[in-house]
Structure 1
Amino acid sequence: MATLKDVAERAGVSIATVSNCLNNTKSVKPATRTRIMSVIEELNYIPNASARNLKSETSREIGVVFPDIDDSCHSDILKGIISRAESMDYSLNISFSYHTPKLERKIIDQLIGRNVAGLILISCQPDNVEYFQNSIIRHNVPAVFLEHFPDSIDANFLAFDNYNSCYYLTKKLIENGYTNIKLMIGHSEFFTERECLRGFSDAHDDLGLDFSMNQMIETRFTTESAFRKAMFNIVEEPPQAIITSSYPLAKGIIEAFNLCSIKVPKDTCIITLGEESWNESNYLPNLIHTSRTAHTMGIRSIDVLMKNLHEPAFFEKEFMLFKDNVIGSHLNIPKAPAPYHSVRTPKRTLRIIATSMPTILSLHAVSREFERQHEVKIEFDFVSYRELIETIVSDSKREKGRYDIYMFDVSWLTYLANLDVLTDITELMTSNELFSKHLVPKNLANACYKGRFYGFPIVGGSHILFYRKDLFEQPTIQHQFESLYNMPLRPPKTWKEFNGIAQFFTKKYNPYSPTLYGTSIIGSVNEEFALELQIRLWSFGGGLFDSSGRLKLDTPQNIKALQSLLDTAMYTENGISDTSINSSFYDFGSGRTAMLLSFTEYGTLINDCLHGDIITKIDYSMVPGQTPANVGWHMGISRTTRHTELIANYFKWICQKQTSYYMTTLNGQSTVLHPYENQEILRLYPWMKLNTKCFEKARNRIYPYQSAERIIPPYEIETILQDVCQKAYRKELTVQDALRQAEKRIQALFKLKSL
């Protein structure tokens, strides 16, 4: 176990300096403080306040660390711990990690520093064996792990026998005629979840039925995640039965089923592993649950810890599985239902043409409720970004178009409005205060052109920077960065700082970098690349137009901006043209890159790409230069639709509080204010807090649109911009020549005279 003296020697300072650094009793130079904190992390030194003050006394405090209190099973375990500890005259220090590995480690380190007698924990990072070896085991702290067990750790472990419970439940369902059964569990790196899957699989095998991994749905341990998985993976074709590993997961499924009018157990039987309770009102109606003795597990965890404390020399660590009160008992499993089919016969059909993105997929999922209420079928056709604008224009020229609603990008509004493609819906948007009161003002303003409304805002995220907070706050990395640049490592405020940090995190330029590349540039889609360029042009004081409103690209400001973008490309894997949105998410989530420029619209998707401990180690900041792009998508009404009144009701339904909550929970970025005022949602999706600040600074993408002969679509200009940038990247053109060529090609596009 490292001592204060060990830290001082390794850092090359006195013991007093280390003490001053830890206790903030005297000023310590930033560079010295960084070096000391780096050594503390390297040696895993834990300051022990209790040892300093009460070295001769035995602590009677037990540290308890749980991931949350939302799960009623965890609540009952905690009640058992409290009741037993109080009877033994021990006090409890109870903390919650909220499924955040970094916070859990901080809590454990603080508890060890307080010299607690022992620890009881439900870990959210059971795969982090090295940490537990270096903290709990190395410091010889008696500990009892519940439910989630780190492999290869010599510690006490108590859990429920999920294998036999899931085996028994699956077997009973199959024997009752069920042939289509699914299992929903938390992350499979957790021992208890793996045991559920093993029991489920073995029951199928032993009864001669084929088991497929498609029958297993893996998610996070939250109701929101289960709701998302159910909406996107289950409600379209619900199985005859679903087994869940915890009550919160069952709640998420039932919420989705209620929204989609799927009846439990008439259409689908849901069984969950649940805690023991005498009060049936604690459970959702028609939910079948096992009866776990969670309270007893809490009591037993204290007993095991006490035995470990009182008999340290010869105590053998305990591995104990508690059986659910289900095996051998009678379960009232209903007869297997017939395959599910909707009995609804819609009277009308609304057809929507769109491109696939999180909010639109969320809208597609929750629209089942509107369909039921209005006896309508809503059909979405998904096409690529380029195909969408071309389809809208061609459909609008038909005497009777195929589509009733067009999804279109903010930057297309001028183009489509001047083509007379969209219905003027000013009266609808201004006559109903529902829209002015409940829509985000910036998003509402985006749908207005020359004082008239041509769209209903449906997507309204903002451009932000995602970065690896765990790397930015690591003392060793901070010290290395400060030594190189003589400034602290922080989220970049300027593009020069952004490129400096990107270089630092690129292994080619820094062999000690923990990531391969500093960032990535999304270049596979013209629009995405144009946004990467635009935010830099604005930041350097440039743009497509000069102060007189004339097209002018060859300016000193734009030269600096494009050079900055080309510099960024040096710290990416694929330069500026080959990286897709999804691959940029994967690279960031897998730890290949340290920073990612993207949109709050994609926040949940980015989180879903994160692996292991990285999942709780990202943070968010405004884009460098403080000039984010004003982004968003609208729903425009076709001029040939016969369903204008129905569409108006659809827009009003989208503005409802509950609808906006559902859409936000399902990965989306609502344009409705309600989610921004809900603290629970902001806790779940913290990047949304940046939106208000970004909206204030966001700038509009304005392209010239009308030549002497035709209306020019935005993608033609974006294609030119990307093409010349690629030539500059390949060094076929200088930066200035690339901008000159772009200016001439756009002038030719509009048949403008050279300026």
Structure 2
Amino acid sequence: MITIKDVAKKAGVSISTVSNVINGKGAIGTEKYKRVKAAMEELDYHPSFIAQNLRNNRSHLIGVILPTLDEPYSSMFQGIDERLNRYGYFPIVKLTENNHSLEENAVKQLAGLGVSGMILTSCSPKQLCCRSLLQSQRIPLVLLDRDIAQLDCPKVMFDKRAYIYERTALLLKREPNTRLLLIRYKEALSCDEACTQGFQQAYQKNMTEHSILSVKFESVSYFNQIYTYLQEHGEQIDQIITTDPPLAQAVSDAADLIGKSYPIHVLTGDNWQISRRYSSLKPIEQNTIYGGMQAASLLVEQLRDSGSENRTVKIKPKLLRKDAAPFLRVPTDTVHILSMDCTAISVLERLSSVSGREVGVNVQFEKLPPTELTLAVEQELLEGRSEHDLFMIDMPWLQHIVNQDLLYDISDKIAEEIVSSFPEAIQRTFYKNLNHRNIVPIIAGIQALYYRRDIFNDPDHQTAFFQRYGISLGAPHNWKEFNYICEFFTRAHNPDSPFEYGTAMTTNYDINLANEYLPRQWAFHGNFVDEWGAATLNDDANYRALESIRATYRYSFNQAMNDNLDDDVFSLLLEGKIPMAHGFANHYIPEKYSDTDGGADIKRHIVVCEAPGRSSLLSGWALGVNRNSKRVPACCAYLKWLMTDRIAVSNMRLGGCIPTLAVHENADLRIQYPWLNLMTQAFSGGRTRNVIYDRFGNLIEPVQLDYIIANALREAFSTPHSSRDILAGAQERLSSLIR
């Protein structure tokens, strides 16, 4: 077997030099580096992953200890695996079958393998086995699903009290006199205790001594208990609720043996499939894939920052909503919508073809480019015309349009649906400073960074990057690091780069250029006007932002692009022409690029993360009802239909983005569109496009601001003029608008 000594001998260097090359450490001359790489290739030497972990006293292995891989734990593991894979960690799974001894052995074995951390669903309600072992080896731990009250560590818990309370309350609402039985495990596990609390809270007036059955963990034992209980008390039961699928299946089998049939409601995971044999089972779906993702994210937080707080994440049930069609249906009518011409609206148009059948509202779209849409909307509203019933309005214009009372106030008709349908962060952003909640968000987007993990993790690139810049190659935290990476992968500045350019920019429209500039401006704490409303473009913050984007342009693929905003940038990423792209994440729709050469293979290596500087530009569009419309009931019916879970999720699957809770909570969508995992944080900390008024209090149209920014950037990209002079000219143009 070829060893590191053989490589050192072949290359004529020391063993430590070979080790530094392998691990990307130390300052190594180019000539020595090439000799070592040539020797490794000639000898077909591949470093041992385990040996590297032992030498570095760390590993990328994560222990995952679960009771079984049946639901709901299989979907929890799906979420764990997806998130760990994104961060470059590898899970090792051990199963305990709810056995204390097996759990203790699993902890010891994983610690012995040198795992970096563990995720545990424990069968012990009071104390953690081998706690001292984990503490002595400083192995971070995250508890999943089952709490250990005395243990202070990060935890992800499903709000089972709420899950069971909502299902019990729903059953009683449908049949007030229905007789219910809750079956749970006898061991005082936190999850089963929470189920009991939810059941008792909802069923308190109907509780009897026979309303709850506690059984042992062992399957033979609990089947015997359930069978006996149904024989003795089966006539007093109408419906049964169980805390996990094995109990539900045991209930179904026992009931079948004694000739009974009950609706059986069972807490389960996202992926549970009901077989024909167990058709009486009614799933109470927990967001288990998402819970697994959260557990993995908490563990990665601990690994990257040992001082991070021990947070508890509680996964709540989806809000119960009525089916839309029965109570929304109106006499058949046709609603006319004036909208932007974009992919998301094409999706909405396709989906709306069924709204006539479902809610009695047919829809016709008139689509305009974004630069024309806003002016057309305001003109029709100010002139009191009713050619269109619904208008699509850009987020920066919402305050201007809504607070002038140019829209019909439907807030009392849709308020309940808005509160129950949209995450708090989306509501705070869209309805900020609005006098009425009379618009419905239909598109929400964030800027994010996409990069090729296979390229960034390549040892040769990592070593060369560290030698050149003195920092590790990874997702950039700020725009300075972003430009380092762009320069490093631009072949004109690095002949060994596999790419001609390090990134790409959308520069064909004014709005594209503004979208590129604004996050840099905010990252350097710049603005357009000061607190007194005077133009302040020619200051140090905007100077640094302009210098930064000029550098990015030098490393960018800037051939002619089409009209699809960030679509072409992501296409270049999937074609293997650039290693990194920054843009609006909702334009990254994998299916759109399915025919791209090599796209399917490259796609699996692409990772999405926060934008550099953590200053994401938020985009959003909403629908509002024309104040002069004669079809207000039909408009409200259509808007409520759009907010239903089924339609919002279907819209996302087709390539749109109605930002409802159902979309955010859907585990399959989060895996397909990983940027959804960044949405809440981005909308809480991101910013919207600037709204500026002249000295008379009139809104300066965003397109005018875009024009000023775009002209300044085009001058910066195409001339040698100094950034100071360019900004001075831009400031003068902005001042003339304000005056």
TM-score by length of 1: 0.55
Cα distance change of structure 1 residues 41 and 596 upon mapping to structure 2, 3 Å threshold = farther
Cα distance change of structure 1 residues 450 and 617 upon mapping to structure 2, 3 Å threshold = same
DSSP 3-state at the match of 2:541: helix
Cα distance change of structure 1 residues 44 and 549 upon mapping to structure 2, 3 Å threshold = farther
The one-letter code sitting in structure 1 at the alignment partner of 2:419 is: S
Whether contact under 8 Å (2:359, 2:638) holds in the other structure is no
1:485 aligns with 2:473: no
DSSP 3-state at the match of 2:636: helix
Cα distance change of structure 1 residues 541 and 714 upon mapping to structure 2, 3 Å threshold = same
Q: What is the aligned counterpart of 1:724 among 708, 712, 719? A: 712
Counterpart position of 1:685: 673
Q: What is the aligned counterpart of 1:511 among 470, 479, 495? A: 495
The one-letter code sitting in structure 2 at the alignment partner of 1:558 is: N
1:352 aligns with 2:337: yes
> For the residues of structure 2 that align with 1:693 and 1:101, how far apart are their CA atoms?
21
1:100-249 to 2 correspondences below 5 Å: none
Tell me by how many angstroms 1:653 deviates.
2.0
Q: What is the aligned counterpart of 1:422 among 407, 420, 426? A: 407
> For the residues of structure 2 that align with 1:102 and 1:42, how far apart are their CA atoms?
32
Tell me by how many angstroms 1:619 deviates.
0.8
1:457 aligns with 2:441: yes
Cα distance change of structure 1 residues 640 and 720 upon mapping to structure 2, 3 Å threshold = same
> For the residues of structure 1 that align with 2:42 and 2:530, how far apart are their CA atoms?
54
Q: Over residues 491-549 of structure 1, what are the superposed CA-to-partner deviations in whole Å (9 max), with x where a residue is unaligned?
A: 11111111111011111111111111111221222222212111111111111122444
Whether contact under 8 Å (1:38, 1:476) holds in the other structure is no
Counterpart position of 1:444: 427
Tell me by how many angstroms 1:607 deviates.
5.6
Counterpart position of 2:643: 655
Counterpart position of 1:382: 367
**Identity within the alignment, %:** 28
Cα distance change of structure 1 residues 400 and 471 upon mapping to structure 2, 3 Å threshold = same
Tell me by how many angstroms 1:368 deviates.
3.0
Q: What is the aligned counterpart of 1:396 among 366, 372, 381? A: 381
Tell me by how many angstroms 1:661 deviates.
1.8
Counterpart position of 1:592: 577
Stretches of structure 2 that go unaligned for 5 or more consecutive residues are: 51-68, 70-80, 92-274, 279-329
Q: What is the aligned counterpart of 1:494 among 474, 478, 481? A: 478
Whether contact under 8 Å (2:352, 2:362) holds in the other structure is no
1:241-280 to 2 correspondences below 5 Å: none
Whether contact under 8 Å (1:539, 1:625) holds in the other structure is yes
Counterpart position of 1:288: none
1:736-755 to 2 correspondences below 5 Å: 736-750=724-738, 752=739
> For the residues of structure 2 that align with 1:641 and 1:374, how far apart are their CA atoms?
19
> For the residues of structure 1 that align with 2:515 and 2:444, how far apart are their CA atoms?
15
The one-letter code sitting in structure 2 at the alignment partner of 1:438 is: S
1:698-717 to 2 correspondences below 5 Å: 698-706=686-694, 708=696, 711-717=699-705
1:544 aligns with 2:544: no
The one-letter code sitting in structure 1 at the alignment partner of 2:709 is: L
Cα distance change of structure 1 residues 647 and 13 upon mapping to structure 2, 3 Å threshold = farther
DSSP 3-state at the match of 1:487: coil
Counterpart position of 2:318: none
Whether contact under 8 Å (2:502, 2:555) holds in the other structure is yes
Tell me by how many angstroms 1:571 deviates.
0.7
Tell me by how many angstroms 1:16 deviates.
9.2
Cα distance change of structure 1 residues 38 and 714 upon mapping to structure 2, 3 Å threshold = farther
> For the residues of structure 2 that align with 1:20 and 1:484, how far apart are their CA atoms?
15
Between 1:505-514 and 1:35-44, the stretch displaced more is 35-44
1:641 aligns with 2:633: no
Cα distance change of structure 1 residues 532 and 575 upon mapping to structure 2, 3 Å threshold = farther
Between 1:726-735 and 1:613-622, the stretch displaced more is 726-735
> For the residues of structure 1 that align with 2:708 and 2:635, how far apart are their CA atoms?
37
> For the residues of structure 1 that align with 2:440 and 2:10, how far apart are their CA atoms?
62
> For the residues of structure 1 that align with 2:464 and 2:20, how far apart are their CA atoms?
22
1:562-581 to 2 correspondences below 5 Å: 562-574=546-558, 581=566
Tell me by how many angstroms 1:483 deviates.
1.4
Cα distance change of structure 1 residues 419 and 561 upon mapping to structure 2, 3 Å threshold = same
Whether contact under 8 Å (2:421, 2:643) holds in the other structure is yes
Tell me by how many angstroms 1:715 deviates.
0.4
TM-score by length of 2: 0.56
Counterpart position of 1:626: 614
> For the residues of structure 2 that align with 1:103 and 1:746, how far apart are their CA atoms?
44
> For the residues of structure 1 that align with 2:550 and 2:16, how far apart are their CA atoms?
48
Q: Over residues 345-373 of structure 1, what are the superposed CA-to-partner deviations in whole Å (9 max), with x where a residue is unaligned?
A: 99311111222334333322222332211
Tell me by how many angstroms 1:10 deviates.
5.7
> For the residues of structure 2 that align with 1:43 and 1:407, how far apart are their CA atoms?
63
The one-letter code sitting in structure 2 at the alignment partner of 1:510 is: N
> For the residues of structure 2 that align with 1:706 and 1:102, how far apart are their CA atoms?
47
DSSP 3-state at the match of 2:637: helix
Cα distance change of structure 1 residues 540 and 506 upon mapping to structure 2, 3 Å threshold = same
The one-letter code sitting in structure 1 at the alignment partner of 2:549 is: L
Whether contact under 8 Å (1:515, 1:594) holds in the other structure is yes
The one-letter code sitting in structure 1 at the alignment partner of 2:472 is: P
Aligned CA-pair RMSD: 4.2
Between 1:701-710 and 1:364-373, the stretch displaced more is 701-710
1:614 aligns with 2:619: no
> For the residues of structure 1 that align with 2:42 and 2:465, how far apart are their CA atoms?
17
> For the residues of structure 1 that align with 2:401 and 2:86, how far apart are their CA atoms?
49
Tell me by how many angstroms 1:30 deviates.
6.3
Between 1:532-541 and 1:734-743, the stretch displaced more is 734-743
1:88-99 to 2 correspondences below 5 Å: none
Whether contact under 8 Å (2:25, 2:463) holds in the other structure is no
The one-letter code sitting in structure 2 at the alignment partner of 1:650 is: Y
Whether contact under 8 Å (1:37, 1:475) holds in the other structure is no
Q: Over residues 233-270 of structure 1, what are the superposed CA-to-partner deviations in whole Å (9 max), with x where a residue is unaligned?
A: xxxxxxxxxxxxxxxxxxxxxxxxxxxxxxxxxxxxxx
Whether contact under 8 Å (1:720, 1:746) holds in the other structure is yes
Whether contact under 8 Å (1:481, 1:489) holds in the other structure is yes
Tell me by how many angstroms 1:698 deviates.
0.2
Between 1:510-519 and 1:542-551, the stretch displaced more is 542-551
Q: What is the aligned counterpart of 2:509 among 502, 508, 525? A: 525
DSSP 3-state at the match of 2:618: coil
DSSP 3-state at the match of 2:337: strand
Tell me by how many angstroms 1:14 deviates.
6.2
1:41-60 to 2 correspondences below 5 Å: 45=45
DSSP 3-state at the match of 1:461: strand
> For the residues of structure 2 that align with 1:671 and 1:621, how far apart are their CA atoms?
19
Aligned pairs, number: 469
Q: What is the aligned counterpart of 2:460 among 450, 454, 476? A: 476
Stretches of structure 1 that go unaligned for 5 or more consecutive residues are: 51-68, 70-96, 108-278, 283-344
DSSP 3-state at the match of 1:371: helix
Cα distance change of structure 1 residues 374 and 669 upon mapping to structure 2, 3 Å threshold = closer
Tell me by how many angstroms 1:643 deviates.
2.0
The one-letter code sitting in structure 2 at the alignment partner of 1:405 is: L
The one-letter code sitting in structure 2 at the alignment partner of 1:699 is: R
Q: Over residues 316-341 of structure 1, what are the superposed CA-to-partner deviations in whole Å (9 max), with x where a residue is unaligned?
A: xxxxxxxxxxxxxxxxxxxxxxxxxx
Counterpart position of 1:232: none
Cα distance change of structure 1 residues 374 and 546 upon mapping to structure 2, 3 Å threshold = same
Whether contact under 8 Å (1:363, 1:663) holds in the other structure is yes
Q: Over residues 565-617 of structure 1, what are the superposed CA-to-partner deviations in whole Å (9 max), with x where a residue is unaligned?
A: 11111111328999953332322221222221112211215764562421111
Whether contact under 8 Å (2:691, 2:699) holds in the other structure is no
Whether contact under 8 Å (2:337, 2:363) holds in the other structure is yes
